[in-house]
Structure 1
């Protein structure tokens, strides 16, 4: 425990951590002030070293495997909360600093996302059973940041507001051709079709496309929506609008120019794109080792400096930028709570280890949006400076009109 104790004494500056070692001895770190008290028990001597060397990965794997358990009423959320509020002192540790430099040096190699590799990595996450996602998502199976007008909005209200907000930004006119890059389970495609657009939706997940086609047919807009099982780099065409929601995070470092270049190439001169993605308000970094290994291999949350450097190189106008700071925190908060309520159903679909992995993932990303550097941004991009109305008023006006029509149709 000596090495691990050295790290934890410097790490736990807020709150308190109680660690039970293999002999049952309790080691306490932190004063307990300005944070929760969390108790854990270690069941494998190897964790003394692994947690010192790579705590972000080792803690997740130990929780998954059951070699680290929560004690005295503590939960994995409590543990992750304590971790998230003490990130600064952890990063200041010389060993952790060296580890982060190593990750950053090799981040491009980790994300060599060729077309086939990108497909494989996306399917790793999105070809899980749709029944799993039904346990914690809204009825529309929207698996991206919702739009909360108040923190107390229900998940269904916030996801509905997100769809309305995006369609309002598209400023659609009947008959417009829209390319959707990353179609999910079809909710946005349905909304765009209901607004009068003809939609071509790209997706590399056969499982998602199967469900999306069923939902589009049930909504009565199958003649307006076509799903295509292709990577964005494999597709050609010309469109009045392009929209991409929750997809750019999977592009990877070194591929932003390909992504924005494709958007530029498929847009008409008068058209524009709406991009919705997770970003970071800090300088360029790396993907956390647990998320990279188990959840989103090849994924990367870009800094805005990386995004704008790419749009600059490709000659795209950034006509509008909106930053959603806490909206994804509220979204994942609601997902996590629902997952906890349906945990036994998730265990029946997979197993206990899978549930622990999913718990660790949801807690980590939720707290990353509460205490970390993550946020969500929405951009309007065009080739011509006057493709987007010169005032943002059109977004609000379209939202009002869309909301009024939705109430009338209900």
Structure 2
């Protein structure tokens, strides 16, 4: 089986890259060990985050660092045994979270985020999946006036710098929009440009089916067999292509490392659980409990509770302590019914030390491309990344400057 391009990884990023390349007339084989959208893209919060111009930074306040060191925080946990291997990534992450560096990183990151909703809408329209996207925005809710007012100022700065639209909610307006939230909440920020998706896997699947309607092939295969210029073993035999794209999310570093690239990718894991909605308490908007570090959001399967970050090594066993810790707090925030899932789901987010994804040609191999490291925003940035990679591989002027995302910055 011969193709123009092999795309390794059928999450949101890989599916969108394969689709954009197929639209440009390439013969594309999309390869994964599972069906599309069944790893990290399956369990995210389902948000297309137009407001996410500042990637999530590493805390620098001494008090917060000491809290995290005790490994009892609700929003961040870690595996002690993983810390030696994650040390270089965390040090780089901490340095780049300095306010001046973080602001510079945001200027590059915003060039991608600014297109996330429009690129999703184009692809969803073509795939017949627009009905899966809801223009609800999402709400960041606050327990204290000090945190509320601080976030109001931050949102106003984002509006001036990057056109992020929001509504500042006092307590009355918050409870008008979303009744049944705890009366103790003092307000919120409603980011109005963000879209929510009630079934993230269904959206990835719709994009993958569109890719196949365009003539692309999806195959179950083993990315670890990548060799030569370029070959991969699949359930239907060996696939060969002139070029290859590595879009394997957290598993990308394993392939890149074998090929000689040292990228210092870190893993942030997250968990979710679904709860049966209460008949008299519908959840209309995704809501983040900003001071506790978890989010509840309406999904087709029920109300999904997603946790913060867990620092661990790739494929270590699940440790859903955060979920168990925040569930009773979430039940106080909003009336949740019984659990729906038999066990918590876990996903693994690929993160770089400078919070920017790796998008572009590999430096030591011809016709090899990288597209991973999107951290919390792989679902958000899939179509943007797909268009950017498609344009670069086609040799046309890219709609976004790819320089900040090049692999040789490491």
| Same fold, TM-score > 0.5, yes or no | no
Q: TM-score range by the shorter chain?
A: under 0.3
* Higher relative strand content: 2
Q: TM-score, normalised by structure 1?
A: 0.24
Return the index of the structure with the highest Cα Rg: 1
> How high is the TM-score relative to the length of structure 2?
0.24
